[in-house]
Amino acid sequence: MKIAPSILSADFANLAHDVAVVEQAGVEYLHIDIMDGHFVSNLTFGANVVKALRPHSDLVFDCHMMVDDPTKYVADFAQAGANIMGVHAEATPHLHSVLSLIKVAGMKAEVVINPGTPVSVISEVLPMVDQVLVMTVDPGLGGQSFLEETMSKVKQLATAKKENNWNYDIEVDGGLNDQTVKQALAAGANVIVAGSYIFGADEPADRIKTLREAGET
Ligand code: DX5
Ligand code: ZN
C-alpha cells in the first residue's frame, strides 16, 4: 500500500511545510492535482508550482492532470520534476500518443478514468501504462463522498493485470479515509490518495498512521 496525500487540501500559503509534514510521516507519493478551469471548473496550479516544490521533497510527485489537451503540458512537467503524469481518458482522443510522450519524457505514464467511464475505454492502453487511476468521485473538488460502485472497475483492472502479467499500480482518488481504504484495498487498489482526510486534520501524521493501520487490518 502506498499513500499519496493530495495537496489540494493543504495550505497553499505553506505548501513546503505541509509537504515536509507528510514526508516525515513516511508517505510514498505526493499527489498534485492540476486543474485548468476547463476539464473541471476549478483552477489550481501548473508546472511552476511543481518546480518550486521539487527542491523541498524527495517524494514521488504524482501529477493528476485534470486538464483539456494534456499533451501540451508534458514537456513542462517533465522539466519541473514530475515523476508520474496521469491523463484522463475523457480529456483527449489521442490517449496512446500522450502516454507515449510521457514515457519518452522520462516520467511514468498513468491513465485516469472518471466514475462514469468504463474500463473498456482504456483497454487498449493497459499494456503500456505504469499506473491506472480509478476516480472514486467525480474530479474537481476535495471532500466528496467515496463512490462504492467504482470498486467493480478496480476489481476488473486487478483481474486483467493478473491474467495478462501487466505491471500497473492501481490508484484510487476521492473520499478515501480509514473506512473506505479497506474496500479499495480489498478490490485490488494499491495506491491510496487522500486529501481532506489527511490535511483536514490538526495532525496529518496521525491520520497517515491511522490510514496505514486501517489498510493493514
Ligand atoms: C479531486 C482530486 C482529489 C482530491 C481528493 O478532483 O483529484 O485528488 O484532492 O480529495 P479527498 O481525499 O478530500 O476526496
Ligand atoms: Zn487527484
CA of 141 to the centre of ligand 2 (A): 9
Domain span at 59: 2-216
The pLDDT assigned to 51 comes to 98
Domain total in the chain? 1
pTM confidence score: 0.98
Grid cell locating 149: 460502485
> What confidence tens digit (pLDDT) does each residue in 151-183 have?
999 999 999 999 999 999 999 999 999 999 999
Known active-site residue 33: yes
CATH, residue 156: 3.20.20.70
> What confidence tens digit (pLDDT) does each residue in 75-115 have?
999 999 999 999 999 999 999 999 999 999 999 999 999 99
CA of 104 to the centre of ligand 1 (A): 28
Sheet containing 84-88: give its strands across: 2-5, 191-194, 169-173, 131-135, 108-113, 84-88, 60-66, 29-35
Distance between CA atoms of 4 and 29, rounded to whole angstroms?
Answer: 4
